[in-house]
Amino acid sequence: MKQALLVIDVQQELVEGNEKEQAVFQKEKLVGTINGVINQAKEADAHIIFIRDKDVAGGTGDGFQVHSDLQIPEEAAIFDKLATNSFYGTPLLEFLKEKEVEHVVIAGCQTEYCIDTAVRYATVSGFDVTLVADGHSTKDSPVLKAEQIIAHHNAALRGHYNVDHFSDVRPSEENLFQPKHDEYRKEYGM
């Protein structure tokens, strides 16, 4: 089975914050976790794709770049986007279909925006998805703390689109590139 890791918006200024924006929740842990998942992806010979949001740091400079502490493999693809949806206006869907990817592992920022959208869009686009439970983050909102937003999305996105393709939510210490979707399909007669 061909697989891909999608690392969304883990950009310097978004993660670290600036004079107007706070840093994401547990930023050091997030970067360390994603580096571990990148290593898993390399071991699984999965495609690795980084998405950068053009809204971050005005789409230029060091603040726009993938976070400096992330280990970016030389063969990784990097796509820039203008929308919350990583698939909108980018070559991402075409790239995944061309590479015959069936399973996508997703990590990055921000939980309630670009991560939520990517998980949902990927499932309806014909991919099994694994969201890294401890590999996405966000900032406090006016209504909820970042930790609550993350926990809510881990619960809400588990099993999303539970038909042909759906999302699973698993911690990074598991082998994320051994998907469990077929086990669930057998168990629930899908």
Instruction: Quote the number of domains for the chain.
Output: 1
pLDDT tens across 21-69, in order? 999 999 999 999 999 999 999 999 999 999 999 999 999 999 999 999 9
* Residues 103, 140 contacting (CB under 8 angstroms): no
CATH number at residue 115: 3.40.50.850
C-alpha to C-alpha distances, 64 to 32, 43, 54, 111, 113, nearest whole angstrom: 19, 28, 7, 18, 18
pTM assigned to the model: 0.97
Distance CA 167, CA 159 (A): 5
| Residue range(s) defining the domain that contains residue 45 | 2-187
